[in-house]
Structure 1
Amino acid sequence: MAVPPRDRPHFHVEGGGQNEAYTSPRLVISGLPPARVRAAHAARLELAIGTALAAGRQRIAEREDGVAEGKPGFYLEFDIPIAERGAVEALENKPKAIELVAVRPTVEGDEMVSATVFVPETAADFFVKKIEAYRDEQTRTGKPKNEALIARIDDIRVAVARSLFTDDAQYFPADGRPVWWEVWLRDGGLDIFQSVAAKLEVAIKEHVISFPERDVALALADEVTMDRLLRNSDAVAELRLAKDTPSLFLEMRTVDQADWANDLVDRITQPSPLAPAVCILDSGATQAHPLIAPGLDAADQHSYENAWGVGDSVYWNGHGTSMAGIALYGDLETALSHGEPVALGHRLETVKILPPTGQNEPRLYGAITATGIARAEDHAPRRRRVFCMAVTSNVGLGRGRPSSWSSSVDQLCYGGGDRRRLMVLAAGNVRGDIHPAEYPDRNDLEEVESPAQAWNPLVVGASTDKITITHPDYDGWTPVAPAGDLSPASRTSAIWDRQWPIRPDVVFEGGNFAHDGANPASAIDDLQLLTTHYRPNMRLFEAFGDTSGAAALGANLAAGVMTARPTLWPETVRALIVHSAEWTPAMRQRFDAAGSQAQKLAMLRRYGWGVPDLDRALMSAANDATLMVEDALLPFRKDGSAIKTRDMNLHRLPWPRAELAALGDLDVELRITLSYFVEPNPGERGWTRRHRYASHNLRFAVKRSLEGLEAFRQRINKAAQDEESGAVGGGAGGDSWVLGTIRDRGSIHSDIWRGSAAALAERDAIGVFPVSGWWKEKPALQRWDRSARYALCVSIRAPEANIDLYTAIANQIAVPIPAA
């Protein structure tokens, strides 16, 4: 089934919660063919084509029910003398739907060129008849029929994945390891390829490059799986290795790097003066870099200490400039190489919070961060921005306990309740030598660094898809992390005490490490991101990665959401990023292997909610619709001298009941993400009930299909009472949720329910309700009457259905939903 495009904006609802008391022509080949002994040549080709057809028919028989799509057929590979290579085009026959799909490149010394054609089952005997006619029939001039083609064919065999590989043959991945392939698809084959790949659990990138007769997608598979994909579809034309290494640019002479940079500069449209900004709190930046200048005005550079200046420094190896390049462009390799116009939707600001030499005292970082933020806001007070900081400290870590720095970050995000800020933080990197045998256990033992134990910012860890090593200096080296898994540099919260937030929230590309089998692993250029170098007079580009690069990518995506939806709250932007995140196949495999909730929680603390995507964060599809709600409630009330819980909000969902009911038992998904900011109350006091860190906590629960509203309300009250007493709440337990109660950590909660469409049709209400916090337990601080605002993202997805849920929801929203 074709995958519907994401071309419809998410629904945006302000408020809406029902407040309740909480109780082409054929080629003619000219010239003479090589001399052949006609009968012997025909006999040899008949044997070859017979063997090839038998193998081809066997491949058709091996097509898998429920997997295979497209016209049944197979691929044939032909060897033709290199001097006669012009004959390859005659292998194609459009009336019979026989298509020449790939011709492998030759190198000096080759005697043959290999060409591969796709042959539908209905035309299986086409070449047999050609050979028979060559053997038995004459033209009017007395020549063997079909001589111009058949006499030029030296051999025929059934084709496999290697036959379609058009990169240098020495790089064909034949050792059983999965690699990223560039899959070049036949015209009209994209939908079939995506569908079959999904059935075979082959990871593919969502973004596709399209040409007049070919679409190019990226897929992760080993040779056996790729060959299986070929058997079950007619979509693939050729295979190449994904060219995802930045070493090409890094090894250029400075003058050549400048040529590439200038080409990109000529394609850039500068951001609007009103555009949102990524404000980087780091070591400064080199504003004069030709690729930084279009997005960074000199007036938007600031420093904690005026004497430090605003430029980048050698002491920090140009870290801030590297962050700036990623925050502005993403992985710079893409912008440099694709040749398309680049419209910058956001700008940069930089605040130098690291001294030119030496380090700040860790206990001062909270004040330095606050002052740095104030520098930017005082200069441009009305500008929307996302703050990005990859500076971390391993001083005083305590399995998730807040530090002064992390608490300061939480306070800055909360903003006194009236000036919320979105911050993106790096989770921190594993330090010292990285040994492949320790991966990923060491990552789980090295806890996220301060200030990333904060509750309110978006905390970013590093994953990686980079596994292709092409540089000859690293021949024989092996990547440490498999594609789609955690980067070897990334820290996790696996050892944290259970009450602390999930960290990281999400992961972005942070590069990979490689090893030679004898020494510690290294972060080689082939496996890193590409960004801007802080000394452009020496060189323009730099390899970059780890959680710093991942955090910069996270800020880039956050700014993309702000650009597209400028009125959204920071809590909502954070919600959309988490809501758009998905676990890669490698991550899902580890989740699937988790046999208990504790093991699932360990995986959640390693990967967060997965890898976000800007398209998913911004746009819905016909069968995958997202509703964004921004609302608030009063969590507490004063009753005499006691503070009690007050309100919950009941959101009646504009569900397309008829459409869902019509799908019956078809599997569908419901995903919910709840995001809010807490006011921190830090202090090392044992974290008992009366000394909670968070001002308040919110939870969500969904009405079950056979549950009335009154029973739903009672279940929510029971869940809150359970959580107050320290028991497992009933609001989320079981009931086909992927995570259940383990989602309720920190101040962002996301989960997926899977079940039948008919059951989802009746799950038409979500309750958002408070559970304790120091606002309630410390009445003397006079916070009990504060409002708590939140963002709620709700998606329904029917991936196997050709149905327009989006329009049905739009029609529902146009009609007021009656209260219960």
Structure 2
Amino acid sequence: MVQRPPAPARERRTHGQRLLQQLQQLHRAEADFKRRREALNLPAAVGLTVAVELRPKGFLDYKAMDWKRDGIEVLNVTSHDDFDLIVVHIPDGRLGAFEKRIREYISEDTKYGKPKHAALVNVIESFRQAAFDELWTDPINPPPAQVEQWFQLWLRVKAGDPAATQRSFAQVAERLGIIVETGYVPFPGRIVVAARTTRAALEQAIELLDVMAEIRSVQPTAEFFLSDLNPVDQVQWVRDLTGRLEANGSAEAAYVTLLDTGVAQAHPLIQSSLDAADLHALVPTWNGADADGHGTQMAGIVLHGNLTHPLASTEAHAVPHRLESVNIYPPQGQHPYHLYGWVTQQAVGVVEGVALDRRRTFAMMSTCTEASTGLPSEWSATIDRLAAGGRGTLEPDNDEPRQRRLFVLSGGNIPWPKWDGYPHINHVESIESPGQAWNALTVGAYTDLTFIDHAKWPGLQGIAPMGALSPCSTTTMLWQRSWPFKPDVVAEGGNGSLDQGQPLVGPESLRLLTTHRDMARALLSETGDTSAAAAEVSRLCAHLSTRYPDYWPETLRALVVHGARYTPAMSAQLPLNRARDDKEALLRQFGYGAVNGYNTLNSDTWRPTLVLQESLTPYRLDRSDIKLNQLNMHTLPWPSDALAALGEALVEMRITLSYFIDPNPSQRGWQSKFRYQSHGLRFAVKGATETAEIFGQRINKIEREDAEAADGLHRQPMNDPDTEGWLFGSQLRARGSIQSDVWRGTAAQLAAKSHLAVFPVGGWWKDWRDACQSTNAVRYALIVSLEVNQELEVDLYTPIQAAIATPIETTIPR
């Protein structure tokens, strides 16, 4: 578990009185604010914008201050080195909501003998009237005071009418000398308008323009750096970023191993993270440098992400991982398809022959041009074998350690001339080999890039809406149900546009910015599609491996999936009365959602995350039969008394199980002893109303159902009694070697869900006795997170940390 700082120790009376004095100052500011608006003949004010400083950082869920009953709304949250800053809008006359809670904190105790509202009041360091700096939420520094530029102003929607909010704001802003561009972008509870003014003018107007929730810059896009800058200007921007780079030169760093067309190692944004000695080629006589350009484009994303953000910033730019490259393409011609598994194996051998023990994420964007049907190929099965560290023979492990590996693969792209068929074309174009590999992280693409400068491109219309599937992204909608869901996750892959119905790649504002191979021509280039998405996920895996060096490849994969979330555009595809087919379609387009670096890398006080790395021996030889052997029963360390006391309050539990299988790719019908996977693992959680005995019976029956399903039989399952609480459920999530699900219910129900079992089901190790694999032990990573609304004022982190238990191994007779 990630550690958190201790709660601040406060002398309740002194602390409470100091906060009350600050609120009195805000009362006086509110009265002055009203007089100023009246003097300028502006509409009556509807409230005050207040900044609340919280210490220590990360201790309070910002939702604890979203008090709908009092009309108090959280506008924005920014995190600083040692504190969080929450900006709230407080309606007229509602400062008393804070005053009431603070007075109760001073004079009243809970039934546990603690000050009332202590979880809230103890972390409040101060109240102050919000100014420009509190509303500025961009990661880059604010602009100089007198420089006129365009700003994004994020406004609270008043009376549920976005259009009226924009009109009213524009009228008042015009009187203050602020130019507001026609049009706005609506979001839930917000609209975004573009305004041209100076920082100084906004600072004077913030109190009078009382609907502002956030101020951001209008960020440059890839189009700015590629179209609006000449190559000489690009050099200046790149030189500035190079001076701010903080590269990790340690030999112990985590690496991304790029299997592509080579890399231009001398590029100023690459050379500090890629030693010349780590520039390899599949064949020693080949050149490790990039003659194509694709590998250098991917290297830029692997190291920096979309370069528009670090280039536009003025902050230090840390690159905590390093890069190594293997050029897998010959100088002329292409490898025959049937050799690509061998090519991948040889490329892995090249880097491991130099440095075996490096912590690596292998990133490969090459795919076969023909769509996969989900059936294993030589290429995908080789990746599965390499990931699992298998030998490709039937020799048992005999306690010899395996060299397991993490692979990140792109899902393959839809050719851009077909993008006019979006989104239907994405449903019928399938992920390409080797993207069907069970043990790899296969990455699809979504997009948040929707801005088109219509002054420059008046006839263009964006294809994909914000947060939706990228036009390039393939899916597995046509795969048979027996194969895993792919992609596993999606990441930014850019967008496209239509010009009078004809599809185009770009303009560049819809693409990602990266490094260019030919530095004599330009330093920067655009990229996109599932290749760029896979490069971004590889970067996230390297960040994970840097922060948590003891985590297995299975664990890194689990954390990436566990942190992913569906965007509103993705979730909107699920109808209110969602059926199994609706959920399956979601998984076959987006996997488990868009990657989220913060969720993947961090655990919060309101979202504690448990990470377990365990093993079991799934099978045992009983005379002439191989039977299921062992399950691990994990006691969930929930503070049951505290949860039970919360009663009907809603909570969320997310579980992800990740393990690697040994493949059996011969195409003889993947049933019985010819199943593709060596073994299967599942997880199940004790139902709130189940006894331990009934829970054990349910686990026993799941394996029989699994075998019957493989033989085409379908019988009434013995379901989790809390099945309605799961997003996907036990049957839908039981595909492949990565499984994730979310349970939502009441705190009282969660308190009774006291055990989680990880148990084996069938595989060819069990069914194929002559293979002599029944004694092999297997590893798995299990991630469990719990999310509770912090406003409930209950500390779950500390008792969970104290109660983490080792698994209990139980043998189930067959």
Give the TM-score, by structure 2 length. 0.75
Residues 1:65 and 1:201: Cα distance change in structure 2 (over 3 Å): farther
Matched, 1:425 2:401: no
Match 2:234 to one of 253, 257, 272? 257
Quote how far apart the aligned CAs of 1:604 are.
Answer: 0.8
Question: 1:386 matched to which residue of 2?
Answer: 361
Question: 1:559 matched to which residue of 2?
Answer: 542
What per-residue deviation string (whole Å, max 9, x for no partner) do you get for residues 743-788 of structure 1?
Answer: 1111000000000011101111101111100001111111111111
Question: 2:298 matched to which residue of 1?
Answer: 323
Question: 2:463 matched to which residue of 1?
Answer: 480
SS in 2 for 1:378: helix
Structure 1, 466-475 or 681-690: larger mean CA deviation: 466-475
Q: Is the 8 A contact 1:464 1:508 kept in 2?
A: yes
Matched, 1:286 2:258: no
User: AA paired with 1:334?
Assistant: H
**Cα distance in 2 for residues equivalent to 1:446 and 1:238:** 40
SS in 1 for 2:368: coil
SS in 1 for 2:584: helix
SS in 1 for 2:475: coil
**Cα distance in 2 for residues equivalent to 1:375 and 1:578:** 29
User: AA paired with 1:752?
Assistant: V
Quote how far apart the aligned CAs of 1:412 are.
Answer: 0.6
What per-residue deviation string (whole Å, max 9, x for no partner) do you get for residues 146-186 of structure 1?
Answer: xxxxxxxxxxx994378669999585434xx558xxxxxxx
Q: Is the 8 A contact 1:577 1:612 kept in 2?
A: yes
Residues 1:429 and 1:662: Cα distance change in structure 2 (over 3 Å): same
**Cα distance in 1 for residues equivalent to 2:409 and 2:439:** 10
Question: 1:127 matched to which residue of 2?
Answer: none
Matched, 1:273 2:260: no
Q: Is the 8 A contact 2:46 2:91 kept in 1?
A: no
Matched, 1:744 2:711: no
**Cα distance in 2 for residues equivalent to 1:212 and 1:563:** 42
**Cα distance in 2 for residues equivalent to 1:422 and 1:288:** 27
Quote how far apart the aligned CAs of 1:400 are.
Answer: 0.5
SS in 1 for 2:585: helix
Quote how far apart the aligned CAs of 1:344 are.
Answer: 2.0
Question: 1:547 matched to which residue of 2?
Answer: 530
Match 1:770 to one of 749, 760, 778? 760
SS in 2 for 1:409: helix
**Gap runs ≥5 in structure 2:** 6-24, 26-36, 48-66, 74-88, 94-126, 137-142, 159-165, 193-198, 391-400
Question: 1:308 matched to which residue of 2?
Answer: 286
Quote how far apart the aligned CAs of 1:803 are.
Answer: 3.1
Structure 1, 279-288 or 799-808: larger mean CA deviation: 799-808
Residues 1:482 and 1:164: Cα distance change in structure 2 (over 3 Å): farther
User: AA paired with 1:160?
Assistant: F
**Cα distance in 2 for residues equivalent to 1:214 and 1:765:** 55
Structure 1, 365-374 or 610-619: larger mean CA deviation: 610-619
User: AA paired with 2:242?
Assistant: V
Quote how far apart the aligned CAs of 1:340 are.
Answer: 1.2
**Cα distance in 2 for residues equivalent to 1:444 and 1:167:** 50
Structure 1, 730-739 or 453-462: larger mean CA deviation: 730-739
Residues 1:724 and 1:346: Cα distance change in structure 2 (over 3 Å): same
User: AA paired with 2:596?
Assistant: D
SS in 1 for 2:608: strand
Residues 1:579 and 1:202: Cα distance change in structure 2 (over 3 Å): farther
Q: Is the 8 A contact 1:99 1:117 kept in 2?
A: no
Residues 1:811 and 1:167: Cα distance change in structure 2 (over 3 Å): farther
Q: May I ask how many residue pairs the two structures share in their alignment? A: 661
Question: 2:600 matched to which residue of 1?
Answer: 617
Question: 1:144 matched to which residue of 2?
Answer: none
**Cα distance in 1 for residues equivalent to 2:171 and 2:726:** 42
Quote how far apart the aligned CAs of 1:320 are.
Answer: 0.2
Match 1:373 to one of 348, 368, 372? 348
Structure 1, 516-525 or 298-307: larger mean CA deviation: 516-525
Match 1:406 to one of 369, 380, 385? 380
Question: 2:219 matched to which residue of 1?
Answer: 243
User: AA paired with 2:266?
Assistant: A
Quote how far apart the aligned CAs of 1:643 are.
Answer: 1.0
Question: 1:337 matched to which residue of 2?
Answer: 312
Question: 2:574 matched to which residue of 1?
Answer: 591
SS in 2 for 1:483: coil
Residues 1:356 and 1:717: Cα distance change in structure 2 (over 3 Å): same
SS in 2 for 1:260: helix
Residues 1:212 and 1:624: Cα distance change in structure 2 (over 3 Å): farther
**Cα distance in 1 for residues equivalent to 2:190 and 2:756:** 32
What per-residue deviation string (whole Å, max 9, x for no partner) do you get for residues 431-457 of structure 1?
Answer: 241344x22221111000000000001
Question: 2:115 matched to which residue of 1?
Answer: none
Quote how far apart the aligned CAs of 1:65 are.
Answer: 5.9
What per-residue deviation string (whole Å, max 9, x for no partner) do you get for residues 219-275 of structure 1?
Answer: xxxxxxxxxxx99x9672565675262111113121211111111111122212210
SS in 2 for 1:284: coil
**Cα distance in 1 for residues equivalent to 2:522 and 2:220:** 21
Matched, 1:160 2:169: yes
SS in 2 for 1:630: strand
Matched, 1:454 2:454: no
Quote how far apart the aligned CAs of 1:613 are.
Answer: 2.0
User: AA paired with 2:725?
Assistant: S
Quote how far apart the aligned CAs of 1:690 are.
Answer: 2.9
Question: 1:578 matched to which residue of 2?
Answer: 561
Residues 1:49 and 1:576: Cα distance change in structure 2 (over 3 Å): same
Residues 1:731 and 1:703: Cα distance change in structure 2 (over 3 Å): same
Q: Is the 8 A contact 1:443 1:490 kept in 2?
A: yes
Q: Is the 8 A contact 1:164 1:237 kept in 2?
A: no
Question: 1:467 matched to which residue of 2?
Answer: 450
Match 1:173 to one of 176, 183, 187? 183
Q: Is the 8 A contact 2:439 2:737 kept in 1?
A: yes
User: AA paired with 1:246?
Assistant: A
- The aligned runs of 1:80-159 (5 Å cut-off) are 159=168
**Cα distance in 2 for residues equivalent to 1:213 and 1:568:** 51
User: AA paired with 1:413?
Assistant: A
**Cα distance in 2 for residues equivalent to 1:387 and 1:811:** 36
Quote how far apart the aligned CAs of 1:304 are.
Answer: 1.0
**Cα distance in 2 for residues equivalent to 1:818 and 1:715:** 18
Question: 2:705 matched to which residue of 1?
Answer: 722
Residues 1:158 and 1:802: Cα distance change in structure 2 (over 3 Å): farther
Quote how far apart the aligned CAs of 1:730 are.
Answer: 3.6
Q: Is the 8 A contact 1:162 1:172 kept in 2?
A: no
Q: Is the 8 A contact 2:155 2:191 kept in 1?
A: no
**Cα distance in 1 for residues equivalent to 2:692 and 2:410:** 42
**Cα distance in 1 for residues equivalent to 2:410 and 2:128:** 57
**Cα distance in 2 for residues equivalent to 1:810 and 1:96:** 35
The percentage of counterpart residues that share the same residue type is 40
**Cα distance in 2 for residues equivalent to 1:402 and 1:284:** 28
The CA RMSD measured in Å over matched residues stands at 3.8
Q: Is the 8 A contact 1:501 1:746 kept in 2?
A: yes
Question: 2:162 matched to which residue of 1?
Answer: none
**Gap runs ≥5 in structure 1:** 10-24, 26-44, 58-62, 75-94, 122-156, 180-196, 204-210, 216-229
Give the TM-score, by structure 1 length. 0.74
Q: Is the 8 A contact 1:422 1:570 kept in 2?
A: yes
Match 2:91 to one of 55, 72, 75? 72
Question: 1:444 matched to which residue of 2?
Answer: 427
Q: Is the 8 A contact 1:7 1:619 kept in 2?
A: no
Residues 1:56 and 1:343: Cα distance change in structure 2 (over 3 Å): closer
Quote how far apart the aligned CAs of 1:482 are.
Answer: 0.9
What per-residue deviation string (whole Å, max 9, x for no partner) do you get for residues 503-544 of structure 1?
Answer: 010011111111233322333210111110011121111111
| Structure number with larger C-alpha Rg | 1
Quote how far apart the aligned CAs of 1:802 are.
Answer: 3.8
Residues 1:239 and 1:742: Cα distance change in structure 2 (over 3 Å): same
Q: Is the 8 A contact 1:504 1:608 kept in 2?
A: yes
Question: 1:434 matched to which residue of 2?
Answer: 418
User: AA paired with 1:257?
Assistant: Q
SS in 2 for 1:502: coil
Quote how far apart the aligned CAs of 1:338 are.
Answer: 1.1
Structure 1, 261-270 or 398-407: larger mean CA deviation: 261-270
